Amino acid sequence: MDLQTTIAAFPNVAPLDGLDGAWRWSLNPVLHFAGALTDDGKRLLQTNQRGKHDENLACEVLSFARAHEQELLGAGRFLGFMEGLRVPGYEFDAVAVAVPEVHGHHKAQNPDLTSVTYIVFPAYACEFSGGETLAETEARYTKMLHPAEIGRESVPFVKMSFDNHRTGGGSTNPGRALTYPRIVRQEIPELANSSGGFVEFENRLGKVWRVEWDGGWTVSGEVPGGPERRELSLDEVLELFEVALQEGTGQ
């Protein structure tokens, strides 16, 4: 496939200012795209924006992705990421990439292009573990992260299991499963007066903490300044959770 010829046939296509071998195009006033060829010219790095549009951000993301092709595309991950993005006006600190098996772009109109297209997007390092399974990557990319929305806030990576005999809430899946941080924040206070209840959460580095109610909030795991099992106040438990979400990043 001649990628340049293929891209030249995109609707409303034009060169992307500020980056050689890169283009922008759009399908309608809401959906905006930009892409750049990899150094060998055999793959397309594509970034998508829905609604709010910033061509300079697209250029910065593509430039960063091209400069870090090996780290992003060569690690064999379904959802790769690289820290170090800095764009004035944005809090993003990383660029992520979704492989063809995950994103499925171009399947309807140009299926041959799908297998050589890698979707890159501005992101936050706290959103990735680096070991996501295909199913987890699909959940993150298609439902949780909203990668085409450039005004989005971070959605830190966290897995959770819980059981609360008082409220009747609890996990139905085996083991810990991906969830939103707000769910963990919601369920920890609900443990009050729930004898035998627990909330277990796992951060992006695979570290696990278990919070239980025993007349107070008791935490098992890596608790700063104390033993592996320690009673903390609710505020201290929630603060520990927030620190755990950012562990291993530059935050």
For the stretch 52-86, pLDDT in tens is: 999 999 999 999 999 999 999 987 899 999 999 99
What is the pLDDT, as a whole number, of residue 229?
A: 81
Tokens of 4: 């340049």
128: closest CA among 71, 47, 198? 71
0.85 exceeded by the pTM?
yes
Is residue 217 within 8 A of residue 233, CB to CB? The reply is yes
Q: What is the mean pLDDT of residues 148-153?
A: 96
Q: What is the mean pLDDT of residues 111-139?
A: 94
Q: What is the mean pLDDT of residues 132-152?
A: 96
Reported as a single tens digit per residue, the pLDDT across 5-50 is: 899 888 899 999 989 999 999 988 899 999 999 988 999 999 999 9
Confidence label for 226 from pLDDT (cuts 50, 70 and 90): low
Hey, which residues does 83 pair with through a beta bridge?
Answer: 94
What is the pLDDT, as a whole number, of residue 204?
A: 96
Instruction: Decide which of 187 and 174 is more confident.
Output: 187
% of the chain surpassing 70 pLDDT = 98
Tokens of 82: 């690289």
Which of 101-105, 159-163, 201-205 comes out lowest in average pLDDT? 101-105
Confidence label for 160 from pLDDT (cuts 50, 70 and 90): very high
Distances (CA, A) of 161 to 182, 187, 195, 244: 14, 10, 16, 16
Residue 171 pLDDT > 90, yes or no? no
